[in-house]
């Protein structure tokens, strides 16, 4: 997911809104969050869960695809990042940080903008 997110232009990215659409292979050029852009990389697109209206069940898909628990999912994909780091690069860095270091102890504070994101500190 991190590699794919690095290919998304900033103007097509927003942590606050999921992409809509029934076919994950079609680039709809809508604003979309980290989760909304990533079903296209699923190796089993026919098994992507759908809502009653036919749209992708993004939450269900992302939880199954990533295997993250609720806190890890929030760290990577919460809409609260909109106010702190609303970039595809930041989303990619959070995923990589989680894989390399685990969930930061102060993740809530980082997500709230109280402390700086650890993945941006050099």
Rounded Cα–Cα distance for residues 85 and 19 (Å): 19
Q: In DSSP terms, which residues pair with 32 in a beta bridge?
A: 13
The pLDDT tens digits for 43-58 are: 999 999 998 888 888 8
The pLDDT tens digits for 1-28 are: 999 999 999 988 888 876 655 455 544 4
52 against 122, higher pLDDT: 52
Dihedral angle of Cα 111, 109, 115, 9, to the nearest 10 degrees:
-10
What is the structure's pLDDT at 6?
Answer: 96
Rounded Cα–Cα distance for residues 72 and 41 (Å): 20
Average model confidence (pLDDT) across the chain: 88
pTM, two decimal places = 0.87
Rounded Cα–Cα distance for residues 85 and 1 (Å): 17
Rounded Cα–Cα distance for residues 38 and 35 (Å): 5
Rounded Cα–Cα distance for residues 3 and 69 (Å): 21
The domains of the chain are located at: 2-120
User: Is the model's pLDDT at 30 over the cut of 60?
Assistant: no
């Amino acid at each position: 997911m991190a590699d794919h997110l690095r290919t998304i232009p900033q103007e097509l990215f927003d942590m606050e809104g999921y992409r809509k659409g029934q076919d994950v292979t079609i680039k709809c050029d809508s604003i979309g969050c980290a989760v909304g852009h990533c079903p296209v990389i699923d190796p089993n697109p026919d098994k992507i869960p759908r809502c009653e209206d036919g749209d992708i069940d993004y939450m269900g898909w992302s939880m199954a695809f990533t295997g993250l628990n609720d806190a890890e999912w929030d760290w990577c994909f919460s809409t609260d990042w909109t106010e702190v780091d609303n970039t595809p690069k930041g989303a990619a860095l959070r995923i990589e940080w989680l894989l390399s270091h685990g969930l930061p102890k102060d993740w809530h504070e980082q997500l709230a903008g109280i402390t700086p994101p650890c993945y941006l500190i050099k």
